[in-house]
């Protein structure tokens, strides 16, 4: 595992705090919250999103842009598709070959899809999946302007991907699965759509140690990619349990939440305990392979995929 030492920090202004705590809600209400937030982000200027405290709606949650990597020098980069929402560069680790079929889960305005298409070439196919209608519209607008007939975008949820089994050579995703309430079902769907011998490269947010209860229950922190994150060991455990092989963490970055954000949820003494308690928030990029001899279509009851 390659570990990157620099700590990511956030510069914010207390004056921009607007939204107070939102109690954690049932799965569909959580999804509605996420759709609402990312619908607003879809129509926001990327520079404004990158410069603001949390991209949209004030500073009650972590900055949506703070994890983002710099794509600007990457082949296939499309500025209008880069909303500064990722926490890594999964395409960099995805071993995408010319002619491959690539699926991007939580594709947003299409940033990773267009970078992946530069690697697949005209012979390949790139399919973006997103549950936010405005993101799909924006991504399709970008693809149309570029005249790319082999980059498609579909409205759908990661727990029930609108694709047949064994179709993808590569699955990528950038800071999205932490937003999915049922992560086991999401990874089962990744397994289902991958061809035997196919692989994924997914960048995401994970934890070491427990978040304070007030943060765990805050819906705004869920939409901000923090309270929906699970333990790193559990995250990798799901991947192993589904039968993926060659599971490895190729990149890891530590993230530090500033006191300005924590103070929206915690007292001064609670912040001190949080700082000294050993809890860590990390963005990681995970790589894994579906066995080439796999005949199992990973599926969960009620998903409609079997």
The domains of the chain, with CATH numbers, are 3-289 (3.40.50.150)
Share of the chain above pLDDT 70, in %: 73
pLDDT at residue number 264: 76
Does the pLDDT value for residue 65 go beyond 50? Answer: no
If one compares 299 and 193, the residue with the highest pLDDT of the two is 193
Mean pLDDT value of segment 282-293: 94
If one compares 104 and 11, the residue with the highest pLDDT of the two is 104
Tokens 């978040």 correspond to what residue?
Answer: 211
Helical ranges in the chain per DSSP H: 27-42, 46-51, 90-93, 111-120, 133-146, 183-193, 213-216, 219-223, 232-241, 259-262, 268-276
pLDDT at residue number 293: 85
Mean pLDDT value of segment 142-163: 96
Tokens at residue 25, please?
């809600």
Tokens 């990744």 correspond to what residue?
Answer: 190
If one compares 297 and 86, the residue with the highest pLDDT of the two is 86
pLDDT at residue number 298: 47
pLDDT at residue number 104: 98
Cα Dmax for the chain: 58
Instruction: Indicate the SS3 state at residue 265.
Output: coil
pLDDT at residue number 54: 39
Taking the CA of residue 150 as centre, how many other CA atoms within 13 Å lie in the half-sphere pointing to its CB?
17
Does the pLDDT value for residue 15 go beyond 50? Answer: no
pLDDT at residue number 158: 95
Q: Distance between CA 182 and CA 27 in Å, rounded? A: 9
- The radius of gyration of the chain's CA atoms, rounded to the nearest angstrom, is 18
> pTM of the full predicted structure?
0.78
If one compares 207 and 296, the residue with the highest pLDDT of the two is 207
Give bridge partners of residue 130 from the DSSP assignment.
Answer: 155
In contact, 137 and 161? CB cutoff 8 Å: no
Mean pLDDT value of segment 209-223: 61
CB count in 10 Å sphere of residue 149: 10
Task: State the average pLDDT for the chain.
Answer: 79
Give me the torsion for CA of 144, 147, 149, 153, rounded to 10°. Answer: -30
In contact, 159 and 188? CB cutoff 8 Å: no
Does the pLDDT value for residue 299 go beyond 50? Answer: no
Does the pLDDT value for residue 132 go beyond 70? Answer: yes
pLDDT at residue number 305: 44
Q: Distance between CA 133 and CA 248 in Å, rounded? A: 33
Q: How confident is the model at residue 55 (pLDDT cuts 50, 70, 90)?
A: very low
pLDDT at residue number 233: 94
pLDDT at residue number 254: 83
pLDDT at residue number 46: 59
Q: Does an H or E element contain 159, and which?
A: none
Mean pLDDT value of segment 96-118: 97
CA terminus-to-terminus distance, the chain: 35
Q: Would you give the DSSP letter of residue 66?
A: T
């Amino acid at each position: 595992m390659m570990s990157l030492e620099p700590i990511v920090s956030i510069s914010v202004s207390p004056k921009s705090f607007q939204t107070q705590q939102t109690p954690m809600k049932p799965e569909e209400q959580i999804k509605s919250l996420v759709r609402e937030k990312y619908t607003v982000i879809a129509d926001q200027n990327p520079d404004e999103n990158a410069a603001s405290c949390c991209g949209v709606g004030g500073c009650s949650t972590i900055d949506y842009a703070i994890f983002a990597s710099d794509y600007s020098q990457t082949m296939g980069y499309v500025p209008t598709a880069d909303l500064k929402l990722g926490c890594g560069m999964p395409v960099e680790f995805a071993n995408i070959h010319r002619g491959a079929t690539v699926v991007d889960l939580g594709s947003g305005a299409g940033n990773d899809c267009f970078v992946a298409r530069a690697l697949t070439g005209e012979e390949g196919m790139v399919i973006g999946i997103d549950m936010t209608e405005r993101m799909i519209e924006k991504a399709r607008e970008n693809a149309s302007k570029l005249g790319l007939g082999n980059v498609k975008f579909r409205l759908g949820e990661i727990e029930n991907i609108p694709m047949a089994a064994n179709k993808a050579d590569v699955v990528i995703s950038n800071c999205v699965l932490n937003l999915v309430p049922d992560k086991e079902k999401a990874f089962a769907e990744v397994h289902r759509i991958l061809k035997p011998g196919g692989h994924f490269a997914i960048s995401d947010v994970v934890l070491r140690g427990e978040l304070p209860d007030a943060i765990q229950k805050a819906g705004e922190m869920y939409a901000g990619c923090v309270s929906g994150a699970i333990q790193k060991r559990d995250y990798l455990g799901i991947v192993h349990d589904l039968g993926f092989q060659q599971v490895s963490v190729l990149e890891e970055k530590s993230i530090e939440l500033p006191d300005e954000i924590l103070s929206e949820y915690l007292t001064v003494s609670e912040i001190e305990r949080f700082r000294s308690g050993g809890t860590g928030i990390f963005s990681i990029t995970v790589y894994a392979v579906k066995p080439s001899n796999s005949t199992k279509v990973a599926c969960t009851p009620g998903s409609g995929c079997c």
